[in-house]
Structure 1
């Protein structure tokens, strides 16, 4: 019977004897974890870089007010910050009481050179623009500003 037990043992070795030990798995797992961490770090750095590049040099604008002069004219006042050396323009829109456009004008902007600025707020300029309308307007806004 011991001969039979020995024969069964020879035919049924342990899994480690049959398939080998799991020594190369941790290093492969470490490799994938490392690559995942590097990929995630790369994605974060790319997002930060893109965010900074898209925000630096942007034109910032804000509506200040409007005046409806009569049935054919309105004025729109807005504040804008144009980075030095950037040429830009803004679209000014006058709308009626139903928010339908009744007047439109594109205004070319000029940036203040750095050497003429005493403080960062000196870069902001206020524009008051006359806009002709086809009927009496109800409100006026800056629709968009863009680099040229």
Structure 2
């Protein structure tokens, strides 16, 4: 019977002479350093995304409404935007079946301020209605170029 190692496969010393010595893995200290570096990079990336996504963000919310008469409603709302941005908001007056009975687009221009808290401002706008409204809302807001 033949020995399979001697007939077809080269000896381990022949392989190391032909291809070089086998590579060693990273030391445990180097592995820990790579893991810590990867974690720091992931944390820095998360912070960068959080900050960059919050800059230039436009937010809006309803604050209140007043039904002035059968043909008028007033909507109070808050808009948070960068100081130099111009935004437009679509306001709706709704009846008791949630049908739109009045609509208006309001343009909100740049304003003065220097702190993060001053990015938010309160606004009030009057809408003419076709029928008596029961509520007023801010449907949407967008930035204007």
- TM above 0.5, one fold? yes
Structure 1 residues 129 and 11: alpha-carbon distance in aligned structure 2, compared to 1, 3 A threshold: same
**1:147 correspondence with 2:138:** no
Bigger helix fraction: 1
Equivalent in the alignment of 1:91: 90
**1:133 correspondence with 2:129:** yes
Equivalent in the alignment of 2:30: none
CA distances 1:14-44 after superposition (whole Å, capped 9, x unpaired) = 8987xx79x57x79xxxxxx9xxx8xx9998
Superposition RMSD in Å: 3.8
CA contact (8 A) 1:95 1:139 kept: yes
Structure 2 unaligned blocks of 5 or more: 17-21, 27-33
CA contact (8 A) 2:103 2:129 kept: yes
> What TM-score, normalized to structure 1?
0.65
How far has the Cα of 1:108 moved from its partner? 0.5
Equivalent in the alignment of 1:79: 78
4+ runs deviating over 6 angstroms: 10-17, 41-47
CA contact (8 A) 2:63 2:78 kept: yes
**1:123 correspondence with 2:119:** yes
Structure 1 unaligned blocks of 5 or more: 28-33
How far has the Cα of 1:77 moved from its partner? 0.5
> What TM-score, normalized to structure 2?
0.66
How far has the Cα of 1:93 moved from its partner? 0.9
CA contact (8 A) 2:61 2:79 kept: yes
CA contact (8 A) 1:68 1:137 kept: yes
CA contact (8 A) 2:5 2:11 kept: no
Equivalent in the alignment of 1:100: 99
Structure 1 residues 57 and 10: alpha-carbon distance in aligned structure 2, compared to 1, 3 A threshold: closer
